[in-house]
């Protein structure tokens, strides 16, 4: 009996990422870093290398590549994933690998007038997504991955599924977005009916739900709320289906809006989430409530916004002054 050839190394990486339910973005980045690591060492197989080769690669990234600490740590995470999850090699030297220390940084926060000016430069779907980042505190990918069923117009509630850390949570739905989102839902319904007529493949469902519920992908409730204007090839399955809008086009729209609004800050889409948290704390809401809405695992992550507010220890008024 002829044995099938062993999968290529990067194909094994992709397969393991999917077994671990990693996102397509994480899968792509891990493959890119592993490829760079192998090419850096003249295409030597990783099983022939170890701690010295890893640290040489990371040092080159920092010194010659001048990458940030977070980028360097992402490269290290990809390489360690290769050794532990794919090659399944024991790593007695794992604890000795030097990890880059990320310096603490304050988030970029917009004032209410700046946030309003930024939103005024956007329209259509890009406006709705940006308004959810600012009005509900969502992360970018949490917003554009919303399904129709995740928005409860009656309870003014949004359910975030499989957010950071693969956790679900609920957050608020601004009243001012109810009607615009209902109109967006009508557009999604038109897309969906057209896809059913044209025989387009059902929407992507996570965790093999398409096998458990074969017809779920054809139901409106599972469609993306911010569906793309046209179907495209699914990078994993290779079939033609309608996905959500692309994050890169949205980020370009935000960059243009920041420039057009005359905002002299390095603001990004994530700055709207920072602004959401800061303004809630300014309004006197409890930090634990803000932590829950943001989906932070540790309240210390949420506490960074108190530094932005200057309400830390340095802002305490002396009893003598009162």
Active-site residues: which are they?
Answer: 139, 164, 270, 273, 296, 305
Check the CA dihedral 166-169-172-173 and report its sign: positive
The answer to whether residues 15 and 27 touch, using CB atoms and an 8 Å cutoff, is: no
DSSP 202-252: PPP-STTHHHHSTTGGGSGGGSBTTB-SS-EE-TTT--EE--BPPHHHHHH
Fill in the DSSP letter of residue 161: -
| Phi, then psi, of 227 in degrees rounded to 5 | -70, 145
| Residue written as token pair 């003014």 | 156
Question: What would you report as the CA-atom Rg of the chain, rounded to the nearest whole angstrom?
Answer: 23
CA distances from 51 to 23, 56, 59, 182, 221 (A): 27, 9, 12, 55, 49
CA distances from 84 to 47, 97, 116, 293 (A): 11, 14, 47, 34
Give the other-Cβ count within 10 Å of 70's Cβ.
10
């Amino acid at each position: 009996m002829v044995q099938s050839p062993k999968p290529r190394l990067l194909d094994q990486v992709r397969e393991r990422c999917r077994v671990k339910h990693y996102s397509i973005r994480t899968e792509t980045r891990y493959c890119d870093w592993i490829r760079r690591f192998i090419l850096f060492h003249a295409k030597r197989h990783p099983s022939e290398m170890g701690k010295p080769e890893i640290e040489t690669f990371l040092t080159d990234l920092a010194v010659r590549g001048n990458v940030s600490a977070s980028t360097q740590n992402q490269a290290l995470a990809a390489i360690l994933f290769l050794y532990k999850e794919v090659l399944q090699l024991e790593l007695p030297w794992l604890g000795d690998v030097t990890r880059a220390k990320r310096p603490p940084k304050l988030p970029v926060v917009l004032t209410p007038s700046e946030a309003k000016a930024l939103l005024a430069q956007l329209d259509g779907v890009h406006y709705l997504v940006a308004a959810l980042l600012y009005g509900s505190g969502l992360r970018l990918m949490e917003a554009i991955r919303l399904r129709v069923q995740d928005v409860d117009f009656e309870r003014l509630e949004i359910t975030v599924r499989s957010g950071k850390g693969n956790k679900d949570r609920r957050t608020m739905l601004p009243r001012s977005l109810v009607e615009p989102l209902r109109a967006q839902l009508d557009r999604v319904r038109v897309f969906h009916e057209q896809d059913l007529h044209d025989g387009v493949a059902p929407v992507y469902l996570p965790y093999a739900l398409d096998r458990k519920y074969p017809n779920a992908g054809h139901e409106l409730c599972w469609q993306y709320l911010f569906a793309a204007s046209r179907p495209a090839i699914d990078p994993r399955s290779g079939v033609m289906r309608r996905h959500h809008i692309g994050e890169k086009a949205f980020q370009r729209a935000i960059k243009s809006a920041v420039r057009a609004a005359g905002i002299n800050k390095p603001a990004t889409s994530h700055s709207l989430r920072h602004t959401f948290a800061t303004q809630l704390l300014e309004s006197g809401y409890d930090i634990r409530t803000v932590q829950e809405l943001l989906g932070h695992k540790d309240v210390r992550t949420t506490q960074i916004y108190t530094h932005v507010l200057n309400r830390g220890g340095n802002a305490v008024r002396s009893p003598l002054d009162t």
